[in-house]
Amino acid sequence: MSCIKQVLNWLRRNISAERDPKVRGAFIEAYRAAQAIQGQVTYLLNDGGSITCLICGLTSHHPEDVRQRYCGRCHCFHDDRAMRDEAERAATHPGP
């Protein structure tokens, strides 16, 4: 599941449970912002040596995070297409 979808799901679950009107308003604004950026780029690849999550701001230099477009703080994959491509490569070219 993409990061934006995870954010939307989390907000959707928590908006109705939130009692504080200010926090609830912030959740609603965040929900609208997440909906607005759905389908847009949510990460930056920095010279191929690191990835920066534009949702939480974390930068990872781990090669697997870069390859899989993964954010360790958000615990999600930014690019589902990258995962599909990797699975296809593994299926058609087994081995190391």
- Asked if 43 and 51 touch (Cβ cutoff 8 Å), the reply is yes
Q: Looking at the structure, tell me whether residues 17 and 45 fall in a common domain.
A: no
79 forms bridges with which residues in the sheet?
Answer: none
The Cα–Cα gap between 96 and 83 comes to 17
Range of the domain at 24: 1-40
Query: Which element (helix H / strand E) includes 65?
Result: helix 63-68
Claim to verify: residue 3 and residue 48 sit in the same structural domain: no
Q: Are residues 29 and 53 in the same domain?
A: no
Q: Are residues 58 and 83 in the same domain?
A: yes
Question: Is the separation of the CB atoms in 42 and 35 below 8 Å?
Answer: no
pTM of the model: 0.52
Identify the pLDDT of residue 59.
Answer: 94
pLDDT in tens, 33-81: 776 666 677 788 988 799 998 878 889 999 999 988 898 988 888 776 6
20 and 49 share a domain?
A: no
71 and 84 housed in the same domain: yes
Q: How many domains does the chain have?
A: 2
Shared domain check, 49 and 36: no
* CA 3 and chain centroid, separation: 3
Amino acid type, 65 = D
- Side chain identity at 5, as an amino acid letter? K
